[in-house]
Amino acid sequence: MSEIEFLNWVRGPAFEIAMTIFIAGIIIRFLEIFLLGRKTNLAEAKGSEMTGGLHTIVSRSIPDSNTFKRSTFKIVSGYIFHLGLLITIFFFAPHILLFKDIFGFGWPSLPTPVVDAFAVVSIITLIAVLIHRLQDRVLKFLSSTEDYLVWLLTILPLITGYIAFHRIGMTAPSLLAIHILSVELLLIAFPFSKLMHAFTLVLARWYNGAISGYRGVQS
Partner 1 sequence: MSASLEKGINALKKEVDSTVGAFFSSCVNCGMCADACLFYTESPCPSRTPINKTEPLRRIWKQEYTLLGRIGKMLGLAKPIDHDFLNQWEKLVYDSCSLCGRCSMVCPVGIDITLMIRKTREGLAASGHAPEGLIGATKRAVTIGSPMGIKLPALMAQISHVEKDTGLKIPMDEEGAEYMLLLSSMEIMNFPEFIEAIAKIFKKAGVSWTISSEAFEATNSGIQIGVADIAAELIQRIVDAAEKLKVKTVISPECGHAYMAIRWDGPNLAGKAFNFKVRHILEILDEFRQDGRLKISGKETQKLTYHDPCQISRRGGVIEQPRNLINLFADDFVEMPEAGKMNWCCGAGGGVSSNERADELRLKVFQRKKDQLDEIKPDAIISACSNCRIHLEDGLEEYNMEIPLMSLTETLAEHLEE
- The smaller minimum CB distance to partner 1, of residues 107 and 199, is found at 199
We find the least distance from the C-beta atom of residue 215 to partner 1, in angstroms, to be 4
CA-to-CA distance for 96 and 87, rounded, in angstroms? 11
Site for partner 1 in 151-190 (CB under 8 A): none
- The smaller minimum CB distance to partner 1, of residues 49 and 184, is found at 49
- Number of residues located near partner 1, criterion CB under 8 A: 59
- Across the chain, which distance is largest between two alpha carbons, in Å? 68
Site for partner 1 in 17-76 (CB under 8 A): 28-29, 32-39, 41-44, 46-47, 56-57, 60-61, 63-64, 66-67, 70-71, 74-75
Q: Per CB under 8 A, does 101 bind partner 1?
A: no
Torsion angle, alpha carbons of 76, 77, 79, 84, to 10: 140
DSSP string for residues in 38-91: -PPP-SPPSS-HHHHHHHHHHHTTS--HHHHHHTHHHHHHHHHHHHHHHHHHHS
198 CB-side CA count, 13 A: 17
State the residues that interact with partner 1 by CB under 8 A.
28-29, 32-39, 41-44, 46-47, 56-57, 60-61, 63-64, 66-67, 70-71, 74-75, 78, 136-144, 147, 192, 194, 196-197, 200-201, 203-209, 211-212, 215-219
